[in-house]
Amino acid sequence: MARNVSTQRKIITTAAAWTIGLIIFFPIYWTILTSFKTEAQAINDPPLFFAFNWTLENYAIVQERSDYMKFLWNSVVIAGGSTIFGILIAIPAAWSMAFVPSVRTKDVLLWMLSTKMLPAVGVLYPISLVFVQFNLLDTRGGLMVVLMLINLPIIVWMLYSYFKEIPGEILEAARMDGATLKEEILYVLTPMAVPGIASTLLLNFILAWNEAFWTLNLTAANAAPLTAFIASYSSPEGLFFAKLSAASTMAIAPILILGWFSQKQLVRGLTFGAVK
Amino acid sequence: MFLKSTLCAATALTLITAGGAFADGHSATITIATVNNGDMIRMQGYTDGFTAETGIAVEWVTLEENVLRQRVTTDITTKGGAFDIMTIGMYETPIWGSNGWLVPLNDLSAEYDAADLLPAMAGGLSHEGTLYAAPFYGESSMVMYRTDLMEAAGLEMPDAPSWSFIAKAAREMTDRDNDINGVCLRGKAGWGEGGAFITAMSNSFGARWFDGDWNAQFDTREWSDTLNFFVNMMNDSGPAGYATNGFNENLSLFNQGKCGMWIDATVAASFVTGDDSTVADSVGFALAPDNGMGVRSNWLWAWALAIPAGTQQEAEAKQFIEWATGKGYIEQVAANEGWANVPPGARTSLYENANYQAVPFARMTLDSILSADPTNSTVDPSPYIGIQFAAIPEFAGIATEVSQEFSAAYAGQQSIEDALEKAQAITNDAMEAAGYR
C-alpha cells in the first residue's frame, strides 16, 4: 500500500517537475526556433511551430555584421576574471565568519546581502564618474572589478554555508600540528571545500555572464561582452526578431553547454544547506 | 597542490588579461554609438568605403534605442569620452547643444551644402541658430492604408483626412470574422512609443502639455476629448491588446494584412511596401489626420549624428558626418540598392530628384515633414518646442510615467478620468520639483 502511494507521488512529482521545466525552457526553445525563421515568419500570427522553411540566413547575417568572437572573448574574460577575483577575496572572508565568528557576524552577512537589494541604476553616476576618473571606461579590468563587487555577497554567503559544514576540529588539529593561517586555509580548508568552491565558481560565472546593466553602461567598442552583442540586434523600429533570436542563441550557447556538463555541481551549489 | 596551481594559474591569466584590458584605448579610430535600424545598419555596410577613402577606421557600438539613450546620456554628462560620434534625436540635440555638450556643426564644408538640409530638420537640430547634429534621416508620421479595403468599403481616402473620417473608415473596414482591424495605432507605454502618438494626436484636438506658466493641462476638455476619441475608436476598430502595441507590433499586423489603416512613422512606408509585406501592392498614403483646428497630428523626428564636446578626434568625426549625411552617400545607396532604400527626410535635393519622386511614398513623406512645425505645434500657444515631446530635460521621465497611466486606461485597468487625473498630478509634481512652477 505504502509502495503504491509512493509511486503515485513519484509520478505526480515527476509530471510537475517536467511541466515546470518545460515552462521554464519554453522561452529558450522559442528563441532557438525563431532564429531559424525569416523575419516575416518570426512575426507570423498564428505562431509557426514547425511548418516553416528553416533557414540559417540569420546566423550568416549576424556573423557578417558582428565580431562574435570578440564579444565572446570579452564575456569569458570578464565573467571568469570577476569570479576568480571574487573567490580569492571571499575564501578568507567566509573562513573568518565560519570559524572565528564575532557577535556581529550574522549582521555583517545580512548587511552584505542587503547591498544586492540596491537598484543598480541608483549608483550608475557615481560608478561612471569613478570609471572616468581612473580611465576604466570600456575596459575589461574595470568590469571585472564591478562584477566581482556586485557578486561578492553571494560568493561569501555560499562559501560561508559550505565552510559551516566542515568540522572546526579539523582546522584546530591542523593548528595543533603547527599549520599557519595561510597553510590552514590553503592546504586543509580549501581542499575539503573543493565541491563547494566549484559550484560557487560556476554559479557566479553564470551570474557574471548574464549581467546586462553594467556591461552595457560601462562599455563601448573594446570591452563589450555578449550582452552588448544581443542589445545590438534589438530595435523598437524595425523587424529584427529573427536576427535577435540568432544573436541570443549564439550568446547563450556557451553558457548552456557549460551548465549542461556541470549541472550536478550547480544543483548541489544551489540547494546546499536547504534541507537539514 | 593541484588546486593551488590551478588557482595561481587562473589568477595569473586573469591579471595578464586584465592588465591588457586596462591598457585598452583609442588610436586613429573613431567610435560611433548608434541605434539599430535598417538605415543605420545599411550605413555600417558602406563604412569600409569611407575608411578606404580617408584612412579613418570606424568602430560601431550599436544599441537598442532606449539603451543607447541611457548610455550616451551617461557618457556625455560624465564626460566619459567613450564616443566620438553619437546618434541622437531631435529631443536631445537642442538641450545638449544649449548645455555646451556638443560641438557646433556650423563650419561644415561648402561641398556638404548645409543649406540643402530640410529647414524643419535643421531647425529641430539647432539651438539659437547653431546646428549641433546633422540629420542622417528624418521622419514625420502619416496614414498608411489598404487601398483594396478602402475601395471595398466604398470610401475614398482624401490626401488630408480628418479624425472623424478615419474613425468612420476604420469602422467600415473592420472585419472581425476575417481578423481585419480598421485601424492600428500605438498604445504601448513609453514616451517614444504610445506617448509620442497620443501627444501628436492631442495637438490636433487643441490640447497641449503645458500652459505659459508650465502648468500641466491634463485637466482640460481637450485632453479628455483626445483620450475618449482614441479609446472609443480603438475599442470599435482596433486590434485586441492594442494597449501593448508599439511600432513593431503594428508593422507586423499591417504586413500580415490585419490592419485597414496604420498611422505611424513615415519610414514605415518602405517596410509596408517591401518584400516582407503581404499587402505591398495595395498600400496608399495620406497626411496624418486633423480635427479642423489648424494643426495636424503628425510628428517630426530625426536621427542625427552629433560630436560630443571634448572628443580628441573632432576633425575625423566631422569628416565622417559629412560623408554619412552628405549627398554622395545617398547617391551611393541609390546606385547600389535603389532609390526606395536611401535615408529619407533629411535633404531638399532628394525630393527634387526625379528618380526619388517616382517612389510611391516620397511626396506624402515630404508633405508630412513640411507640414510639421516644432516651434508652433499646438493650437493655443505653449512654452515649449517640439511636437510629440517638449524639449526640456524633464520631459522623458514625466512622459514615460504619464504614458504608463494612459496605457493602463487603454487596457481597461482604470478609467480615462483617473488616468488624466494622475497624469496631471505626476506632471505638476515633477515640474514643481524641477523649479518650473
pLDDT digits (tens, 9 = 90+) for A252-271: 999 889 888 888 777 776 66
Residue B44 lies in a domain: yes
Same domain, B335 and B419: no
Same domain, B54 and B73: yes
CA–CA separation, A219 and A225 (whole Å)? 8
Q: Which of A186, A224, A235 sits opposite B64 (nearest CB)?
A: A235
The tally of CA atoms less than 13 A away on the side-chain side of residue B45 is: 15
Which of B285, B280, B251, B283 has the alpha carbon at shortest distance from B268? B251
CA–CA separation, B227 and B297 (whole Å)? 14
- Kindly report the backbone phi and psi dihedral angles of residue B135, in degrees, each rounded to the nearest multiple of 5, phi listed first: -70, 125
Same domain, B283 and B240: yes
pLDDT tier at B28, thresholds 50, 70, 90: confident
Judge: A231–B64 Cβ closer than 8 Å, yes or no: yes
Judge: A236–B74 Cβ closer than 8 Å, yes or no: no
Residue B329 lies in a domain: yes
Which of B217, B155, B169 has the alpha carbon at shortest distance from B425? B217
Please count the other Cβ atoms lying within 10 Å of the Cβ belonging to residue A58.
Answer: 26
Domain boundary among B341, B362, B383: B362
pLDDT tier at B189, thresholds 50, 70, 90: very high
Quote the pLDDT of residue B245. Answer: 95
Same domain, B156 and B37: no
Average the pLDDT over B382-410 and give the result: 96
Residue B16 lies in a domain: no
Q: Residues B200-250: pLDDT tens digits? A: 999 999 999 999 999 999 999 999 999 999 999 999 999 999 999 999 999
CA–CA separation, A61 and B207 (whole Å)? 45
Which of B185, B371, B167 has the alpha carbon at shortest distance from B265? B185
- B 34-73 residues with CB < 8 A to A: 35-38, 41, 44, 59-67, 70-71
Residue B1 lies in a domain: no
| Alpha-helical regions (H) of B205-246 | 221-237
Radius of gyration of chain B (CA): 23
Q: What is the CATH number of the domain that holds B310?
A: 3.40.190.10
Q: Residues B316-339: pLDDT tens digits? A: 999 999 999 999 999 999 999 999
Is residue B247 within 8 A of residue B193, CB to CB? The reply is yes
B391 touches chain A (CB under 8 A): no
Residue B323 lies in a domain: yes
Cell of A265: 555541481
Please count the other Cβ atoms lying within 10 Å of the Cβ belonging to residue A176.
Answer: 9
Domain boundary among B338, B362, B386: B362
Å between A229 CA and nearest CA of chain B: 8
Same domain, B181 and B265: yes
Å between B379 CA and nearest CA of chain A: 29
Same domain, B345 and B388: no
Q: Residues B272-310: pLDDT tens digits? A: 998 889 999 999 999 999 999 999 999 999 999 999 998
pLDDT tier at B65, thresholds 50, 70, 90: confident
- A 50-79 residues with CB < 8 A to B: 65, 77
Which of B267, B312, B327, B301 has the alpha carbon at shortest distance from B133? B301
Residue B7 lies in a domain: no
Which of B299, B287, B280, B258 has the alpha carbon at shortest distance from B166? B287
B83 touches chain A (CB under 8 A): yes
Contacts of B24 (CB under 8 A, 6+ apart): A138, A139, A140, A222, A223
- B317, containing H or E segment: helix B314-324
Average the pLDDT over A20-48 and give the result: 92
Quote the pLDDT of residue B9. Answer: 52
Residue B29: closest C-alpha in chain A:
A221
Same domain, B305 and B380: no
Which CATH fold would you assign to the domain A66-232? MetI-like fold (1.10.3720)
Residue B13 lies in a domain: no
Q: Using CA of residue B146, residue B148, residue B153, residue B156, what is the dihedral sign?
A: positive
Q: Which positions in chain A touch B33 (Cβ < 8 Å)?
A: 220
Same domain, B60 and B97: yes
Q: Which positions in chain A touch B37 (Cβ < 8 Å)?
A: 235, 237-238
Domain residues of chain A, as ranges? Answer: 66-232
Quote the pLDDT of residue B293. Answer: 96
A238 touches chain B (CB under 8 A): yes
Which residue type does B90 have? M
Is residue B57 within 8 A of residue B29, CB to CB? The reply is yes
Q: Residues B246-277: pLDDT tens digits? A: 999 999 999 999 999 999 999 999 899 988 89
pLDDT surpassing 80 at residue B176: yes
Is residue B430 within 8 A of residue B398, CB to CB? The reply is yes
pTM value is: 0.85
Same domain, B151 and B134: no
Cell numbers 529619407: residue:
B344
CA–CA separation, B148 and B284 (whole Å)? 9
Residue B89 lies in a domain: yes
Q: Residues A70-93: pLDDT tens digits? A: 999 999 999 999 999 999 999 999
**Total of domains in chain B:** 2
Same domain, B92 and B178: no
Same domain, B144 and B122: no
Q: Which domain holds residue B90?
A: 29-138+301-362
Which of B181, B191, B206, B339 has the alpha carbon at shortest distance from B263? B181
Same domain, B267 and B310: no
For the ranges A34-48, A206-220, B14-28, B416-430, the lowest mean pLDDT is seen at B14-28
Quote the pLDDT of residue B104. Answer: 97
